[in-house]
Structure 1
Amino acid sequence: MTSDNQAVDARKAKQQPSNVDQSIIEQFVDALWLEKGLSDNTLSSYRRDLSLYACWLNERSTMLLGASRLDLMAYLNWRMRQRMKPSSTSRMLSCLRGFYRYFLRENRIDQDPTLEIESPKRGRPLPKTLTEAEVEALLAAPDINDPLDFRDRAMLEMLYASGLRVTELISLTLQQINLRQGVIRVMGKGDKERLVPLGDEARDWLLRYMKDVRPLLIGDSSSEVVFPSRRGQQMTRQTFWHRIKRHGLVAGVDKLPSPHVLRHAFATHLLNHGADLRVVQLLLGHSDLSTTQIYTHIAQHRLQSVHKQHHPRG
């Protein structure tokens, strides 16, 4: 949830859509899951956006499937007055377009109220990333004499070596790893499978972790999760975020890293060292090359900085 609409969303979250709208929202979310195999996090975002719009409509005695283009324009105007970010509104509009197109196909509505409504213009923000020195400091931060910190070190090495999404990392199972060949089989968004190689450094840390540390953490549990919590079960995204935040403070990293920042660093540093953009696309599991191309901007910034620093006429 973005900072610009936390207060508004908190107030709206206390309300609930009508039973009819709630049922319609769940029908749409179920259809998304069946047709596109979207992740739980994405489905939750869709459900939240639709619920907030439904609550706004209900206050005006209107239902989701009865909303008109004028209703939607009024809602967009209200969001603008609340100073919500264009990126948040753009995501919401994308959700509503899918929602109304679905029910138009199902013959539940006669027209799509999102037609001819443009998304708010927004800049394309560059992903936050870390320098190579900052990554090295972060990787060295965990105290490897502590089993949980040793686990964290192995996880950080894996993130930086493979560019995994944090959900892909915390849900990684033993069957997905082939240490002999040094590759992992990842099931990404939309249940798309990809093979990701591990570097020697990450492979060595993983071997040490699997041999000496994981048995201590797993105890009597039969869990197949590679990186269990202290209770021997799959850890949550929030737990891993707090662990990384703590290690970032120890490392003295100014930009406190999230798990996703290491994914950005993985892509950026590959490009800085001459990797082909399509190779990076495959490693990240992006279905569209345009999603990966944003990292070329970061690489260009780096090249310009090096040129300015070292070229005699920079």
Structure 2
Amino acid sequence: MDFEKNIFSFLHYLNVIKNVSKHTLRNYKIDLFHFQKILIEKILKEEKINLALITKWTIREYLTFLHEEKFKTRSIMRKTSTIKSFFRYLIKEKKIKINPLDDIESLKREKALPNFINYEQVMHLFNMCDADTYLGLRDRAIMELFYSSGLRLSELVSLNREDFDESSNLLNIFGKGKKQRIVPITKTASDVVKKYLYSSERNKKTEEHYDEMDKKAIFLNKWGKRISSRSVDRNFKRYLLKSGLYEKITPHAIRHTIATH
């Protein structure tokens, strides 16, 4: 059953079994379809949403999006409560086994804001990437760009070669509403990205990765195609576990930390 059908199934359950008011039902519907819209357009970027792909990191990215769009705290808390109830229903119906919001503690206190991290923690995390390998170099470049530029995850994975001005260390970014902006990056980040782009491994097929298939994209997955936000998220979680900083840092924490360093 697809995501939208699950929403209608849940709304039917609220209306018939729980007998909620029309006003409450309307709010649930608004919140859930807004969540679906942002997943499709901003986060997962796929028309068909696989429930198994929605993790606590997906929820955190959605909550951060709400904050960045200046949603009021009361509205964010309501949407969070709606989504949590929806996933509880899916568990009850045995559609999923884990509620991704159960791992997000004290939403009221945290207000879903990303944690800030110090410079030593950033460097410790970066050093988890084995830059002597092609894929490790890619991951180090991705982290350096997050820290250097404050790009959104969706903007980073959308970067093309033509968006990178190597001589001036500038990125040409098309953000929300296709608004264009120029983003400066550090020489360190620029050097790592260039090292990755011009690595001889990029055009080789090895046991670890395929050769370059997408000639436009800067960041590629192991199959040689443009890397997805989900893949970056998965790799990020792996490095967090390795670093011992798990639960303390999200990709957005690196992005927002630049304002304090």
Query: TM-score scaled by structure 2?
Result: 0.59
- Report what 2:171 is aligned to: 184
Identity over aligned residues, as a percent?
A: 25
1:253 Cα deviation after fit: 1.9
2:145 touches 2:189 (CA, 8 Å); kept in 1? yes
1:42-76 deviations in whole A, cap 9, x for unaligned? xxxxxx6xx5775457648x9xxxxxxx5114666
The alignment status of 1:251 with 2:251, answered yes or no, reads no
2:115 touches 2:248 (CA, 8 Å); kept in 1? no
1:172 touches 1:226 (CA, 8 Å); kept in 2? yes
2:172 touches 2:182 (CA, 8 Å); kept in 1? yes
- Bigger relative contact order, structure 1 or 2 (CA pairs below 8 A, ≥6 apart): 2
Give the 5 Å matches for 1:84-233: 87-90=76-79, 124-212=111-199, 213-216=201-204, 219=211, 221-233=213-225
Could you tell me how far apart the structure 2 residues matched to 1:202 and 1:140 are? 14
2:166 touches 2:190 (CA, 8 Å); kept in 1? yes
Question: CA separation of 1:218/1:165 partners in 2, compared to 1, >3 Å: closer, same or farther?
Answer: farther
2:114 touches 2:250 (CA, 8 Å); kept in 1? no
Query: 127-136 or 178-187, which moves further after superposition?
Result: 127-136
Could you tell me how far apart the structure 1 residues matched to 2:3 and 2:181 are? 41
1:171 Cα deviation after fit: 1.4
1:9-62 deviations in whole A, cap 9, x for unaligned? xxx978838xxxxxxxxxxxxxxxxxxxxxxxxxxxxxx6xx5775457648x9
1:88 Cα deviation after fit: 4.8
Letter in 2 for 1:72: H
Could you tell me how far apart the structure 1 residues matched to 2:248 and 2:9 are? 31
- Report what 2:229 is aligned to: 237
User: Structure 2: which 5+ residue stretches go unaligned?
Assistant: 29-72, 83-107
- Report what 2:92 is aligned to: none
Matched residue SS, 1:16: helix
1:214 touches 1:227 (CA, 8 Å); kept in 2? no
Number of residue pairs matched? 184
Query: TM-score scaled by structure 1?
Result: 0.50
Could you tell me how far apart the structure 1 residues matched to 2:3 and 2:154 are? 28
- Report what 1:71 is aligned to: 22
> What is the CA RMSD across the aligned residues, in angstroms?
3.5
1:178-228 deviations in whole A, cap 9, x for unaligned? 111110011111211111101111011112111115434672524311000
Question: CA separation of 1:224/1:13 partners in 2, compared to 1, >3 Å: closer, same or farther?
Answer: closer
Could you tell me how far apart the structure 1 residues matched to 2:15 and 2:2 are? 14
Greater helix fraction, Structure 1 or Structure 2: 1
Give the 5 Å matches for 1:302-313: none
Matched residue SS, 2:198: helix
Matched residue SS, 1:268: coil
From the CA coordinates, give the structure whose radius of gyration is larger: 1
